[in-house]
Amino acid sequence: MKAGIAFLASLATLAISLAAHAAPQAGDVTAGKAAFAACASCHQVGTGARHAFGPRLDGVIGRRAGTQAGFNYSPAMRKSEIVWSPSTLAAYIRHPDEVVPGTSMRFSGWAYSEQKLADLFAYLQTFP
């Protein structure tokens, strides 16, 4: 019986360490809001958000790229077949032209840390 409990406890420890390894860093919404300032000159989110120089970003995580009505995407974005997830979005923000060659987004966050991106995504996810 004791051995059984010890075995279960070690399984639990293993599961926790695996989860900690696989889980993305937890993002901080307040820090993410500050990070979004770099996007806000072109993108809107939240109540009443509209397409501006860039498309509105409400509900962006999980959406297929280049598919919102009323925004004039580049042909490259429309054809990209990307679905925005934390990993595809991270790659695009860091190197837009490499991920979507020919994109009209003139911005590069190549120096963004994993933490800054996680914060940004936590903030974006508050706008489903």
Q: What's the CA gap between 20 and 16, in Å, rounded?
A: 6
| Calpha distance 94→38 (Å, rounded) | 13
- The owner of tokens 């933490």 is 115
Query: Which one of the spans 2-10, 14-22, 24-32, 106-114 is the region binding ligand HEC (CB under 6 A)?
Result: 106-114
Ramachandran quadrant class, 70 (left: phi over 0; alpha: psi -120 to 50; beta: rest): left
Pick the closer one to ligand HEC by CB: 105 or 122: 105
Nearer to ligand HEC, 11 or 62 (CB): 62
How far does CA 23 lie from the centroid of its chain?
14
Q: Which amino acid is at 4?
A: G
Rounded Cα distance, 11 and 26, in Å:
24
Specify the residue for token string 């996680």.
Answer: 118
By CB under 6 A, tell whether 68 contacts ligand HEC. Answer: yes
Q: Does 123 interact with ligand HEC (rule: CB under 6 A)?
A: no
Please report whether residue 44 would count as binding ligand HEC according to CB under 6 A: no
Residue 53 found at the interface with ligand HEC (CB under 6 A): yes
Residue 8 or 64 having the CB closest to ligand HEC: 64
Stretch that binds ligand HEC, among 1-9, 10-18, 19-27, 33-41 (CB under 6 A): 33-41
One-letter amino acid for residue 78 of the chain: R
Binding site for ligand HEC (CB under 6 A): 38-39, 41-43, 53-55, 57, 60, 65-66, 68, 73-74, 76-77, 84, 89, 93, 100, 103-107, 109
